Amino acid sequence: MTVPFGRIGYARAGDKGANANLGVWTPHEAAWPWLAAYLTADRLRELLGCADSVAIERYELPNLRGISFVLRDYFPPSGSAHLGLDQIGKSLGEFLRARHVEAPVELVHASDRMGTS
Protein backbone atom coordinates (compact mmCIF):
# COMPACT_ATOMS: atom_id res chain seq x y z
CA MET A 1 0.00 0.00 0.00
CA THR A 2 1.37 3.45 -0.88
CA VAL A 3 1.14 5.82 2.09
CA PRO A 4 2.98 8.82 3.52
CA PHE A 5 5.85 7.57 5.68
CA GLY A 6 4.36 9.55 8.57
CA ARG A 7 1.49 7.07 8.85
CA ILE A 8 3.99 4.56 10.20
CA GLY A 9 6.78 6.54 11.83
CA TYR A 10 7.85 9.73 13.50
CA ALA A 11 10.86 11.90 12.74
CA ARG A 12 12.85 14.70 14.35
CA ALA A 13 15.69 16.53 12.68
CA GLY A 14 18.16 19.34 13.11
CA ASP A 15 21.33 20.76 11.67
CA LYS A 16 24.77 21.93 12.69
CA GLY A 17 26.70 23.71 10.03
CA ALA A 18 26.54 21.79 6.76
CA ASN A 19 25.39 18.54 8.43
CA ALA A 20 21.85 17.38 9.16
CA ASN A 21 20.81 14.79 11.69
CA LEU A 22 17.57 12.86 11.39
CA GLY A 23 16.03 10.56 13.96
CA VAL A 24 13.28 8.21 12.80
CA TRP A 25 11.29 5.88 15.03
CA THR A 26 8.07 3.97 15.34
CA PRO A 27 6.09 3.57 18.54
CA HIS A 28 4.77 0.23 17.30
CA GLU A 29 6.76 -2.91 18.05
CA ALA A 30 5.27 -4.64 15.00
CA ALA A 31 6.54 -1.86 12.71
CA TRP A 32 10.18 -2.00 13.88
CA PRO A 33 11.30 -4.95 11.67
CA TRP A 34 9.85 -3.23 8.60
CA LEU A 35 11.41 0.13 9.49
CA ALA A 36 14.84 -1.38 10.18
CA ALA A 37 14.83 -3.29 6.88
CA TYR A 38 13.20 -0.62 4.74
CA LEU A 39 14.93 2.59 5.76
CA THR A 40 18.49 1.99 4.63
CA ALA A 41 20.92 4.82 3.92
CA ASP A 42 20.36 4.28 0.18
CA ARG A 43 16.57 4.37 0.60
CA LEU A 44 16.82 7.56 2.66
CA ARG A 45 19.01 9.11 -0.07
CA GLU A 46 16.33 8.23 -2.62
CA LEU A 47 13.40 9.51 -0.52
CA LEU A 48 15.11 12.82 0.29
CA GLY A 49 16.67 13.28 -3.14
CA CYS A 50 20.17 13.65 -1.66
CA ALA A 51 23.11 14.30 -3.92
CA ASP A 52 25.72 11.55 -4.18
CA SER A 53 28.18 13.91 -2.47
CA VAL A 54 26.18 13.67 0.80
CA ALA A 55 27.64 10.98 3.07
CA ILE A 56 24.88 9.25 5.05
CA GLU A 57 25.73 7.49 8.31
CA ARG A 58 23.08 5.16 9.77
CA TYR A 59 22.84 4.03 13.39
CA GLU A 60 20.17 1.56 14.53
CA LEU A 61 18.67 1.99 17.99
CA PRO A 62 16.57 -1.19 18.30
CA ASN A 63 15.65 -0.67 21.97
CA LEU A 64 14.03 2.62 20.92
CA ARG A 65 12.70 1.18 17.65
CA GLY A 66 14.60 3.94 15.90
CA ILE A 67 17.31 4.88 13.47
CA SER A 68 19.59 7.88 13.67
CA PHE A 69 21.04 9.31 10.46
CA VAL A 70 23.81 11.86 10.03
CA LEU A 71 23.87 13.48 6.61
CA ARG A 72 27.33 14.97 6.13
CA ASP A 73 27.48 18.05 3.88
CA TYR A 74 23.72 17.99 3.32
CA PHE A 75 23.50 21.79 3.41
CA PRO A 76 25.72 24.06 1.35
CA PRO A 77 27.57 26.79 3.26
CA SER A 78 24.93 29.44 3.92
CA GLY A 79 22.68 30.55 6.77
CA SER A 80 22.62 26.98 8.05
CA ALA A 81 26.35 27.18 8.69
CA HIS A 82 25.68 29.46 11.66
CA LEU A 83 26.28 27.26 14.72
CA GLY A 84 23.95 29.25 16.99
CA LEU A 85 20.74 28.74 15.01
CA ASP A 86 18.87 25.72 13.75
CA GLN A 87 16.76 27.34 11.10
CA ILE A 88 16.72 24.74 8.34
CA GLY A 89 17.19 21.20 9.66
CA LYS A 90 13.91 20.96 11.59
CA SER A 91 11.84 20.56 8.43
CA LEU A 92 13.83 17.56 7.18
CA GLY A 93 11.90 15.13 9.40
CA GLU A 94 8.52 16.41 8.24
CA PHE A 95 9.70 16.24 4.63
CA LEU A 96 10.53 12.54 5.14
CA ARG A 97 7.16 11.90 6.84
CA ALA A 98 5.42 13.38 3.76
CA ARG A 99 7.23 11.11 1.30
CA HIS A 100 5.17 8.21 -0.05
CA VAL A 101 6.44 4.69 0.61
CA GLU A 102 5.28 1.15 -0.07
CA ALA A 103 4.31 -0.51 3.22
CA PRO A 104 2.46 -3.70 4.15
CA VAL A 105 -1.29 -3.09 4.37
CA GLU A 106 -1.58 -4.76 7.78
CA LEU A 107 1.17 -2.52 9.16
CA VAL A 108 -0.56 0.62 7.92
CA HIS A 109 -3.89 -0.43 9.42
CA ALA A 110 -2.25 -1.35 12.74
CA SER A 111 -0.49 2.04 12.84
CA ASP A 112 -3.77 3.81 12.08
CA ARG A 113 -5.50 2.03 14.96
CA MET A 114 -2.68 3.06 17.31
CA GLY A 115 -2.66 6.69 16.14
CA THR A 116 0.77 7.31 14.58
CA SER A 117 -0.20 10.07 12.18
> pLDDT digit string (tens) for 68-83?
999 998 887 655 555 5
In one-letter notation, the amino acid at residue 62 is P
pLDDT at 88: 63
Label residues 45-79 b or e (16+ Cβ within 10 Å = b): bebbebeeebebebeeeeeebbbbbebeebbeeee
Spans in the chain with pLDDT lower than 50: 84-86
